[in-house]
Structure 1
Amino acid sequence: MVRAMIPGGLIGTYVIYRDRKPHYIGRSDTNLQRRLLEHCATARGNYFAYDIHTTREQAFAAECSLFHALRPLTNILHPDRPDHEHPQCPFCPDSIAAVLENRLRTPNL
């Protein structure tokens, strides 16, 4: 089914479900099809959902979103940044605090 649904060579994120609950989230920066086939071989879950992304940075942000929103998961470690790129997780408390601190302030009316 994975081979029929997802062409090779795409960047993407995924959620693997077990017993109707999110169990594991992940990302592939090179070949989403191959990564999901690896999970199928280890029988991590019952079914999956996926999204295709145009850049590794978009996939990283989406994976971070899933990691923060769907806990608890079997993922213990925060998603790793894409190779040779340094985006900040837009959902970590430090990133949110920095955005709030640097936002434009309007005078009280």
Structure 2
Amino acid sequence: MTQQELTGTGLHGPFSLAADAIDEELVENCPGAYALGFIDYLGRFSITYVGSAGENLKSKLKAHIGTASQFKFRHFAEERLAFEKECEMFHQFLPRGNFLHPSRPHGTDWSCPRCRR
């Protein structure tokens, strides 16, 4: 896995949002957080959507193929950490594709570290 990281997100990437890149970069059955977007005319990663996956980040990203050209990601040891990272990115970047604050995973009472929602 490459260690390429852009300042500001704490995520690895960007990579092409395609099945082969996802298979190459991510491990199976692991929680994680991600950002979707594109490379702007200045060569910066522009975030259009953020999300997280509690069990299988790889399959969640594959479901987004065709919605953006690039992605960044980070694996987490715990689902809660992935959810918290999604919340932090939502507040930091206000991506245009996220209309609502991230929902806590079903069956949890976790709250956002930023706004305590």
TM interval, shorter chain, is 0.7 to 0.9
Does the CA contact (< 8 Å) of 1:13 and 1:50 recur in 2?
Answer: yes
**Seq. identity, %:** 27
> Shift in Å at residue 18 of structure 1?
2.8
Aligned to 1:32: 57
- Residue 111 of structure 2 corresponds to residue 88 of structure 1: yes
Give the match's secondary structure for 1:78.
coil
Question: How many residue pairs are counted as aligned between the two chains?
Answer: 91
1:1-109 matches, cutoff 5 A: 1-20=21-40, 21-40=46-65, 43-92=66-115, 95=116
Mapped partners of 1:3, 1:53: distance in 2 = 17
More helix by share: 1
Mapped partners of 2:61, 2:71: distance in 1 = 9
- Please report the TM-score for the alignment, with normalisation by the length of structure 1: 0.77
Larger Rg: 1
- Please report the TM-score for the alignment, with normalisation by the length of structure 2: 0.72
